[in-house]
Structure 1
Amino acid sequence: MAQTIDYGNLMHDAMRGLIREVMSRVARDGLPGNHHFFITVDTTHPEMEMANWLRDRYPSEITLVIQNWFDNLKVDQSGFAITLNFGNAPEPLYIPLDAISTFVDPSVEFGLRFELHAEGDEDDEDDEEAPMMEAEPEDEAPKSGEVVSLDKFRK
């Protein structure tokens, strides 16, 4: 029996469930109103599926924009499949929920940020009890080839 309650992982599971539910509703009903998503994904995740040329271009992470055009959105217990347009080339992707590091809907200033740990990473006990998620949009400086600050998209 565990000696402590792992609140960090429980919160992560709950927030990934929220993302799963949002994506399920979008798959069923489409994006309502001005909603759109910026989703940053760890491209090294073993269950991440993407074209080799995309993986070569984004070897560690990619920020996906789900807004005007997407197709074939299907959600399962572990993640979602979607086809997105990259330079007028539709590309199918599979995004595991536990590969997501940020999920942002700037239309309502909502965001989640997860700390991803590679399997086998050993955290000391203090880190295990610390919250590992923030429920707010990212304000960090953009990295080359990624989505810029959300301030440009706010009205």
Structure 2
Amino acid sequence: MTDQAPPVDEMQYERLAHEALRGVMRAALERVLAEGLPGAHHFYITFVTRAAGVVVPPDILAKYPQEMTVVLQHQYEDLRVEEARFSVKLRFGGLPKNLVIPYAAITRFYDPSVQFMLQFEEPPVVEPVEEPPVPPADTPAPDGPKVVSLDQFRKK
């Protein structure tokens, strides 16, 4: 038995492959931007909502705090395709909402018309969630209901 360490991938081929595949998504979106969606093509794009660089309205983020899937098919507007991200306006409950999605935040890209899917196993960098500070337990909540401990009334 030898104690040789496994080889180290200093080329980072996995990362290079993921970057190349994200380029396929970008190229598809660029084609849609230039020509519209051809034929029956449409995209289901799943992304991490709290990944670095993602911009979604607060109400959408509250509904989808970790991950969401958007569909680019019939009703989308203002598609913009950039080197590292794309942005689009979609309707949620009839109201237009702007989304900015970096390619690095995408976990799945699927075109069901031709059964083409890219899935990324590496987790995107997630921005820390800023939680509101919690007051100490003995501090009464301002303008809210008072919490009373029932321990003093329980039989021992």
TM-score range, shorter chain: 0.7 to 0.9
Identity %: 39
Compare CA radii of gyration and give the structure with the larger one: 2
Which 4+ residue blocks in structure 1 deviate beyond 4 angstroms?
none
Instruction: Tell whether 2:42 aligns with 1:33.
Output: no
Within 5 A, what are the aligned runs for 1:1-155? 4-119=10-125
Cα distance in 2, alignment partners of residues 42 and 64 from structure 1? 11
1:4 CA displacement? 3.1
Number of aligned residue pairs? 119
Report the aligned-residue RMSD: 1.6
More helix by share: 1
CA contact (8 A) 1:99 1:116 kept: no
Letter in 1 for 2:93: G
TM-score scaled to structure 1, two decimals?
Answer: 0.73
Cα distance in 1, alignment partners of residues 72 and 44 from structure 2? 7
TM-score scaled to structure 2, two decimals?
Answer: 0.72
Q: 1:85 to 1:119 in 2, by over 3 A?
A: closer
Q: 1:106 to 1:3 in 2, by over 3 A?
A: closer
Unaligned 5+ runs, structure 1: 121-155
Q: 1:37 to 1:118 in 2, by over 3 A?
A: closer
